[in-house]
Structure 1
Amino acid sequence: MPYDYVAVLLPGITVMTAIQSASQSGFGMVADLESGLMDKFFVAPIRRSSVLAGKLLADGIRMAAQAGIILGIAALLTLANWKIPFATGVTGALLVTLLAAAFGVAFSGLSNFVALRTKNTEATMMVSFSLTFPLLFLSTAMLPKASLPVWVQNFSAVNPVSYIADASRGLILTGFDWSAIGNAFLAVAAFGVVLNGLAVLAFRAQGK
């Protein structure tokens, strides 16, 4: 079965961009710790969790904007070839954007956790980047599952990126598969609860 090259790669590109942006969240956390900005938040009469939540909200908005730009460029490229950009229209494009941004926010938890524990930009970069390529290439982000070696298919079954990629690719190529979409959001939620839970614990331990 022939595939549209842009449509097949698009989910992987949006996820990769979200991961890279999530890594920047940790770098920013280290910079805030080094500058003393976080010390001011720690003594302010506000809940510490609200500081982290605000940072994650800003990250999510930035990631959604990045994903939207990528999808917009892809739509223009598709229209240039006289094809319909997305099988599910604007609603599908918004869901793809939301999935990418949600995964980026989830991955930000790991980046911020490492940043808070090490207070070191290099360590944060090493951990974030060392996980980026396994998450991407041991998933269905860059290729449909049928095109992957069997051992990669087995690993991709437990990789949250695969759920996002499969749901996004379906929204772009075929239509609304609510089972796949629901599974993608569940995978992101589980991933985010664990990683951002670690970040919250590390954040609360600061300044004590």
Structure 2
Amino acid sequence: MRLSAVLFVIAVSVALSGSVTIKSLVFPAESSDSYVELVPLKPMEMRAFTLCMNVATELKGEREVIFFAYRTRDFDELNVWRELDGRLSFALSGESVYFDVPQLGALRTHLCVTWDSKSGAAAIFMDGRKSLTKIYKKGHTIRSGGKVLLGQDPDVYMGEYDAKQSFVGEICDLNMWDTVLSDSTIKDLVSGKKVERGNVFDWETTQPKISGRVEVIDCEQ
């Protein structure tokens, strides 16, 4: 009876704490052959999106860094970058839109990118704080049929990786929706409140396909 009571108290304490253990991807070194492929839950033909992840990197002012790459046979459909000068940017099949925000560093940052085709509204969120809104690629559609990679920027479909653009650091809890989440919902994500998981990528269920030297560790949310 006493053991059962202790186990019950532990179970209740874990439930009340709300902590969840999820996988985290560590890219330990610059490379031209280490990457992770993610398979979406649905075709990635989109006219709006919210992409969120927790990210940390110590590459400051050394070079540009790719965070997320989605490429079809002929186009870079969606790439998210940390530029050489520290700005964050993303590109939809062409020129990028840039945001002058605080430098990312070794402390994990909750990063979100949002875009809506109807209005062209594009923004960056860092730990729940929203950048100014920029108008970008109004009327554009992201095409389906490509591959999503973390860690490398493919200059051709699934190939020609440049080590000097590779990601070095840690990425976890990446989720993507085919809608623009509200500002309050993104703040709820940062604070750990229960939010409906991504319908394009759900980190709790996705099975990353790892190539090269990428370590998978457990981290607590």
TM-score normalised by the chain length of structure 1: 0.22
* Higher percent of residues as strand: 2
* Higher percent of residues as helix: 1
TM-score normalised by the chain length of structure 2: 0.21
